[in-house]
């Protein structure tokens, strides 16, 4: 029996703890995975991050090329059609005329950059459409200009785009930044759908220092060095974006087109190639119109796992009986407590949540670095001084996160166009309570993948869609749908949601409790 060639795609996720490569067939099934942690690399004297949480990009790229070469030795009769990366970011790279980084790349985890947030111009948010938490690349430039590290810089782009450029065979003159990456740099103009040249001028930088802006999914020929690897003989490079754009899908059926909309568990909900333009009058919501066919919307809260970590860290005494050995929330134990207390009795549960004296409004992430999630800014808003307990705090956090997802849906598109949510985040899957609340608030079935699909997986599948190798989402195995609850509990949740939305329109009207100490004082 003769062999045949498997057409495949390759997705790369460059994160804060390591690099993951997923080789998939066109049905979305894994052929091979390769993962290496930065800690393991350090043991063999390969230093990616330095002590200031900056990245040595050439070392990173060399490591990536080596991992792909090793992958090639492990597979037979496979041809990669498309290759794309997702990475941390958007953080900046200063580039010389020869195309090399002038120094280690200043990531969003860089320790000194946040000291410059209070130096942002007063019109920053109005000009860029960005939250202050999305201003880090701009304040990185403030730092670099002050330290006179930018005088010899020929070009600036983001980490993600620089790595993708290295994967391609483009000359430096064609260096680029994808639309979504550009929109998160703090240098993008909402008004002009282009770089904000006035902000750049204020930094006394030439306009030529920024690259051209290209659409997400732009296709390039592969770097000649990589094209010598048999696995990549027929590969095209697809311009990707930052971490997490495909952790979550809202879909209108099982055979829909692959690019519909996506929300990551980091709270960013982005919909590409959409003909409508929306503007949100809110100080807590970022919306950047990119062109007539696409736009980006961001709500600044961290993912479910990060929120759980935040709760365990800031309310450690309250949760002392519900922590694991690594001082994380014991979600299974908390969920069991909820189940035993309420048995999902709709009347009892509805009465309980309607009387909660607090809710969890949002979290906003501080810098993250290797092996860590960083610090989270956020907390609980109290509407009275009623005493609260462990379960109250956990329930309030879950409600708050679910409200944010519902808010995303309301702003982006009519829910009636969709019948289900596909959720892939590992931590979110561990909280049945979150899934039930999410389903009820959105009035959509929540579908959980049986095998967690990583960012590398999503990036690879997205790249296949861009080169027109697939038209439909792969039909991967899922658990039975989690259906919305009906009746009184649905009415109560919708009422709470209306109260919760006041945070967006009047955020300064509330006092936020961010720690155990503040909780006791309240």
User: Exposed (0-12), middle (13-18) or buried (19+): which is 286, by Cβ within 10 Å?
Assistant: buried
Task: Output the pLDDT for position 485.
Answer: 92
**Cα four-point dihedral sign 419, 424, 427, 432:** positive
Task: Output the pLDDT for position 381.
Answer: 79
Instruction: Using alpha carbons, select from 361, 358, 493 the residue that is nearest to residue 439.
Output: 493
Give the pLDDT band of residue 255 (cuts 50, 70, 90).
very low
User: Is the peptide bond preceding residue 90 cis, with omega within 30 degrees of 0?
Assistant: yes
Q: What is the pLDDT of residues 414-434, one digit of tens each?
A: 445 566 776 666 666 788 998
Task: Output the pLDDT for position 405.
Answer: 74
Report whether CATH 3.40.50.10090 matches the domain 15-238. Answer: no
pTM: 0.75
Give the pLDDT mean for 183-202. Answer: 78
Whether the predicted pLDDT of 296 surpasses 90 = no
CA distance 351 to 329: 26
Task: Output the pLDDT for position 135.
Answer: 66
- At CB < 8 A and 24+ separation, what contacts does 166-170 make? 166/61, 166/223, 167/83, 167/85, 167/220, 167/222, 167/223, 167/226, 167/237, 168/220, 168/221, 168/222, 168/223, 168/237, 169/220, 169/221, 169/222, 169/223, 169/224, 170/220
CA distance 444 to 417: 10
Give the pLDDT mean for 173-181. Answer: 86
b/e code 379-412 from CB counts within 10 Å (16+ = b): bbbbeeeeebebebbbbbbbbbbbbbbbbbbeeb
Task: Output the pLDDT for position 359.
Answer: 77
Give the pLDDT band of residue 281 (cuts 50, 70, 90).
very low
Give the pLDDT band of residue 263 (cuts 50, 70, 90).
very low
Whether the predicted pLDDT of 220 surpasses 80 = yes
Q: What is the pLDDT of residues 393-417, one digit of tens each?
A: 999 888 888 887 777 666 555 445 5
Task: Output the pLDDT for position 509.
Answer: 74
Three-state secondary structure call for residue 328: coil
Whether the predicted pLDDT of 271 surpasses 60 = no
Tokens 């379960």 belong to: 391
- The DSSP letter of residue 169 is -
Give the pLDDT mean for 285-304. Answer: 42
- Range with top average pLDDT, 182-186, 290-294, 503-507, 517-521: 517-521
Percent of the chain with pLDDT over 90: 29
Q: What is the pLDDT of residues 436-488, one digit of tens each?
A: 998 999 888 887 877 766 778 878 887 887 887 876 656 677 789 899 999 99
**Residue 161 and residue 155 in contact, taking contact as beta carbons nearer than 8 Å:** no
- The DSSP letter of residue 357 is S
Higher per-residue pLDDT: 36 or 186 = 36
Task: Output the pLDDT for position 207.
Answer: 84
CA distance 158 to 163: 9
Task: Output the pLDDT for position 226.
Answer: 92
Give the pLDDT mean for 231-240. Answer: 92
Q: What angle do CA 485, 488, 491 make, to 5 degrees?
A: 85
Q: Starting at the edge strand that comes first in sequence, how are the strands of the sheet with 376-382 ordered? A: 358-365, 376-382, 512-513
Cβ count within 10 A of residue 434: 25
Higher per-residue pLDDT: 41 or 508 = 41
CA distance 16 to 371: 6
Structure tokens at 71: 């992958």
Q: What is the pLDDT of residues 47-68, one digit of tens each?
A: 998 887 789 999 999 999 999 9
Structure tokens at 215: 């659409």
Percent of the chain with pLDDT over 70: 71
CA distance 158 to 198: 20
- Range with top average pLDDT, 179-183, 226-230, 396-400, 424-428: 226-230
**Residue 433 and residue 401 in contact, taking contact as beta carbons nearer than 8 Å:** no
Calculate the average pLDDT of the chain. 76
- φ and ψ at 136, to 5 degrees? -55, -45
**Residue 64 and residue 12 in contact, taking contact as beta carbons nearer than 8 Å:** yes
DSSP letter for each residue of 69-132: HHHHTT-SSEEEEEEEEEES-S-EEEE-TTS-BSSSEE-TT-TTGGGGGGGS-TTHHHHH---G
Three-state secondary structure call for residue 152: coil
Structure tokens at 213: 């802006």
- φ and ψ at 163, to 5 degrees? -65, -45
Domain boundaries, the chain: 15-238, 244-301+405-466, 304-362+383-400+485-521
Task: Output the pLDDT for position 297.
Answer: 39
Q: What angle do CA 103, 202, 140 make, to 5 degrees?
A: 30
């Amino acid at each position: 029996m003769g062999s045949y060639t498997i057409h495949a795609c390759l997705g790369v996720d460059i994160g804060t703890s390591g690099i993951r490569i997923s080789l998939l067939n066109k049905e979305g099934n894994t052929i091979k995975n390769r993962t290496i942690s930065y800690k393991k690399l350090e043991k063999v004297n390969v230093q990616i991050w330095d002590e200031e949480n900056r990245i040595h990009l050439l070392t990173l790229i060399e490591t990536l090329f080596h991992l792909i070469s090793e992958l090639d030795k492990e597979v037979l009769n496979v041809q990669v059609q498309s290759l794309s990366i997702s990475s941390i970011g958007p953080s900046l790279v200063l580039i010389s005329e020869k195309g090399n980084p002038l120094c280690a790349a200043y990531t969003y985890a860089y320790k000194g950059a946040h000291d410059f947030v209070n130096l942002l111009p007063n019109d920053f948010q109005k000009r860029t459409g960005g939250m202050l938490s999305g201003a880090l690349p701009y304040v990185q430039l403030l730092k670099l200009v002050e330290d006179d590290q930018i005088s010899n810089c020929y070009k600036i782009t983001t980490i993600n785009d620089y790595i993708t450029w290295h994967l391609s065979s483009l000359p430096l003159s064609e260096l680029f930044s994808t639309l979504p990456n550009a929109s998160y740099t703090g240098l993008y103009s909402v008004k002009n759908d282009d770089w904000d040249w006035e902000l750049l001028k204020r930094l006394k930088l030439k306009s030529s220092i920024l690259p051209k802006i290209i659409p997400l999914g732009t296709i390039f020929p592969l770097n000649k060095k990589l094209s010598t690897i048999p696995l990549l003989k027929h590969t095209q490079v697809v311009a990707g974006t930052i971490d997490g754009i495909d952790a979550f899908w809202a879909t209108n059926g099982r055979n829909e087109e692959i690019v519909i909309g996506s929300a990551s568990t980091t709270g960013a909900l982005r919909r590409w190639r959409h003909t409508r333009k929306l503007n949100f009058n809110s100080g807590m919501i970022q919306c950047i119109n990119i062109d007539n066919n696409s736009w980006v919307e961001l709500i600044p809260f961290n993912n479910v796992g990060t929120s759980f970590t935040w709760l365990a860290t800031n309310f450690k005494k309250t949760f002392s009986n519900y922590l694991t050995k690594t001082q994380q929330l014991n979600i299974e134990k908390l969920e069991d407590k909820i189940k035993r207390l309420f048995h999902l009795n709709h009347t009892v549960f509805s009465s309980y949540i309607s009387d909660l004296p607090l809710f969890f409004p949002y979290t906003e992430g501080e810098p993250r670095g290797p092996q860590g999630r960083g610090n989270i800014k956020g907390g609980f808003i109290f509407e009275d001084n009623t005493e609260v307990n462990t379960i109250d705090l956990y329930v309030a956090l879950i409600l708050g996160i679910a409200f944010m997802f519902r808010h995303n849906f309301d702003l982006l598109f009519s829910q009636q166009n969709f019948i289900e949510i596909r959720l892939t985040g590992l931590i979110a899957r561990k909280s049945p309570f979150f899934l039930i609340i999410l389903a009820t608030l959105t009035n959509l079935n929540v579908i959980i993948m049986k095998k967690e699909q990583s960012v590398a997986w999503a990036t690879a599948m997205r790249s296949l869609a861009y080169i027109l190798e697939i038209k439909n989402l792969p039909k991967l195995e899922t658990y039975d749908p989690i259906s919305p609850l009906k009746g009184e509990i649905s009415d109560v949740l919708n009422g709470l949601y209306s109260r919760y939305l006041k945070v967006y329109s009047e955020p300064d009207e509330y006092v936020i409790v961010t720690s155990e100490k503040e909780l006791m004082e309240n």
